[in-house]
């Protein structure tokens, strides 16, 4: 359960930049692009900034919105804003159907009888129609369009180029786990990377986290120690039964995982604010071999760092499953239950968590109970190709090696124009964030590669000769 909820978090940085101003627009799309059985239409939201646009033939930078309000991605994809002037680009951020305000059936959109048109293919078809509109509905459009996206948005930007290469000239796909599908990546990859992130910070940290699980379970067997823990961790809800214990354990795991995902070198205003290098901060509390109450006290400090860094939280709501802010957990949970089937497991051996195998059968039954649908584990592979992208072109897959989602990313270039850019010591789509004084050379180099590739794609679109390749990009 938590594992599925977790997925909703996989693109969640909110860096609000007041200077990012935009016009809010709406575009009408068919409910169903692929049949003519239903004729309803609805409107998706998109945000536009054309301050720097050369409307003669400047490019359109198009963010393929993912699982949340488009404002979230608009505000946190600083890289697009940073380079708009240099490219004389128009910026467009399109909201994904069934998220934010782009609801086909208003507040009933996520009801079982309406949610079925929430698919990536329909979203991509929305984007293709919108790009066609932005290009003036021309047979031969004059504006090259470059797709950008991070996380699920990165998957969409890559898929957009794969399925609509006549619509977008190229795609920057940051931290896109396009391999995180059955049979393509080991199910433990995500948690293995989480663990290695903590291990880099401090080997004792991993040992302590590992010992934390039996310690929590032991303490919660006795009423006294449970009461102590509830007080020590300032829990909002008492621990009444073994189900609550499982929820608590799941929440602690979620905190470790999410902290690893957003382990940025600068303080970031996450769903909750976090310090710079939060994994290192967490591991400072767990730097010495600990056990018993000392261990739990230290873990409590990690949880407090994650949930209460701004000191605004009254208590720790371990039953919340995490705070998703502007991201729409429900929509993504449905997508994970239909086409975006991403197996996850823990082994306890290659990672620091309690072992939990991937069980497709129970996952599938759970989906059926919730939504009346069974997942299609092969859907994304057949529709988008998995790792068989030899025939694709003009895509950069970038991945930070400290990002757990890199476990499902493309880390080796597939061809001369489907390139992998790997960023050591970087977390989840760091390269899409605005430039920052704390930026390391690798992330600067990645952004430099993106610009070189974008420039190449634009020249290609205009039929201009392209320079020799930078061997690093």
* Residues marked as catalytic: 151, 403, 428
Cβ proximity to a copy of itself: between 125 and 262 the closer is 125
Cβ proximity to a copy of itself: between 246 and 383 the closer is 383
CB 189 within 8 A of CB 344: no
Give DSSP secondary structure letters for 364-411: HHHHHHHHS----TTHHHHHH-TT--TT--SEEEEEETT-GGGGGS--
Tokens 């930049």 correspond to what residue?
A: 17
Among 228, 248, 348, 223, which residue's Cα sits nearest to residue 307? Answer: 248
Burial of 434 (0-12, 13-18, 19+ CB in 10 A): middle
Could you give the 3-state DSSP secondary structure of residue 443?
helix
- Minimum Å gap between C-beta 132 and a copy of itself is 5
Overall size of the chain counted in residues: 473
- Minimum Å gap between C-beta 320 and a copy of itself is 28
- Minimum Å gap between C-beta 355 and a copy of itself is 25
Cβ proximity to a copy of itself: between 139 and 223 the closer is 139
Number of neighbouring beta carbons within 10 Å of residue 161? 27
Cβ proximity to a copy of itself: between 165 and 348 the closer is 165
CA 61 centroid distance within chain: 19
- Minimum Å gap between C-beta 318 and a copy of itself is 32
Among 227, 230, 191, 188, which residue's Cα sits nearest to residue 209? Answer: 191
Residues 352, 281: Cα–Cα separation, whole Å: 18
Among 74, 116, 109, which residue's Cα sits nearest to residue 95? Answer: 74
- Minimum Å gap between C-beta 168 and a copy of itself is 10
Residues 267, 254: Cα–Cα separation, whole Å: 20
Which residues are at the interface with a copy of itself (CB under 8 A)? 32-39, 115-119, 121-122, 125, 128-129, 132, 137, 139-140, 163-167, 183-184, 338, 371, 373, 378, 381-394
- Minimum Å gap between C-beta 206 and a copy of itself is 32
- Host H or E run for residue 237: none
What angle (nearest 5°) sits at the alpha carbon of residue 226, between those of residues 221 and 232?
A: 145
Q: Residue 464 — φ and ψ, nearest 5°?
A: -95, 150
CB 120 within 8 A of CB 154: no
Cβ proximity to a copy of itself: between 221 and 368 the closer is 368
CB 217 within 8 A of CB 246: no
Number of neighbouring beta carbons within 10 Å of residue 443? 24
- Minimum Å gap between C-beta 334 and a copy of itself is 8
Residues 210, 204: Cα–Cα separation, whole Å: 10
Cβ proximity to a copy of itself: between 242 and 415 the closer is 415
- Minimum Å gap between C-beta 113 and a copy of itself is 8
């Amino acid at each position: 359960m938590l594992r599925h909820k977790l997925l909703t978090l996989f693109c969640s940085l909110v860096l609000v930049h007041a200077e990012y101003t935009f016009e809010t627009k709406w575009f009408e799309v068919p409910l169903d692009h692929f049949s003519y059985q239903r004729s309803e239409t609805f409107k998706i939201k998109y945000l536009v900034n054309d301050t720097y646009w050369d409307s003669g033939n400047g490019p359109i930078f198009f963010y393929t919105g993912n699982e949340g309000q488009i404002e979230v991605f608009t505000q946190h994809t600083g890289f697009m804003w940073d380079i708009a002037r240099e490219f004389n680009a128009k910026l467009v951020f399109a909201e994904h159907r069934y998220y934010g305000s782009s609801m086909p059936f208003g507040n009933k959109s996520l009801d079982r009888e309406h949610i079925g048109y929430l698919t990536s293919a329909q979203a991509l078809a929305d984007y293709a129609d919108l790009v066609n509109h932005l290009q003036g509905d021309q047979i031969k459009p004059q504006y090259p369009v470059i797709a950008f996206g991070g996380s699920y948005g990165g998957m969409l930007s890559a898929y957009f180029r794969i399925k609509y290469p006549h619509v977008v000239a190229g795609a920057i796909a940051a931290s896109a786990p396009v391999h995180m599908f059955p049979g393509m990546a080991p199910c433990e990859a995500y948690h293995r990377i989480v663990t290695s992130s903590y291990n880099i910070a401090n080997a004792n940290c991993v040992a302590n986290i590992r010992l934390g699980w039996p310690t929590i379970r032991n303490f919660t067997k006795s009423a006294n120690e449970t009461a102590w823990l509830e007080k020590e961790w300032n829990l909002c809800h008492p621990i009444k039964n073994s189900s609550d214990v499982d929820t608590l354990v799941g929440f602690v795991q979620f905190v470790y995982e999410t902290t690893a995902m957003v382990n940025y070198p600068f303080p970031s205003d996450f769903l909750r604010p976090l310090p710079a290098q939060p994994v290192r901060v967490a591991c400072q509390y767990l730097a010495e071999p600990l056990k018993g109450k000392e261990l739990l006290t230290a873990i409590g400090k990690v949880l407090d760092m994650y949930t209460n860094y701004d000191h605004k939280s009254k208590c720790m709501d371990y039953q919340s499953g995490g705070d998703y802010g502007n991201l729409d957990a429900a929509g993504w949970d449905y997508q994970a239950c239909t086409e975006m089937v991403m197996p996850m497991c823990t082994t306890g051996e290659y990672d620091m968590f309690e072992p939990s195998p991937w069980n497709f059968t129970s996952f599938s039954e759970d989906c059926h109970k919730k939504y009346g649908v069974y997942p299609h584990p092969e859907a994304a592979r057949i529709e988008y190709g998995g790792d068989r992208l030899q025939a694709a072109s003009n895509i950069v897959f970038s991945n930070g090696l400290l990002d757990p989602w890199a476990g499902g990313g493309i880390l080796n270039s597939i061809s001369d124009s489907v390139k992998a850019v790997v960023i050591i010591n970087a977390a989840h789509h760091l390269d899409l964030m605005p430039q920052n004084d704390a930026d390391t050379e690798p992330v600067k180099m990645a952004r430099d590669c993106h610009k070189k590739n974008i420039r190449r794609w634009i020249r290609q679109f205009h039929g201009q000769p392209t320079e020799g390749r930078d061997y690093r990009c």
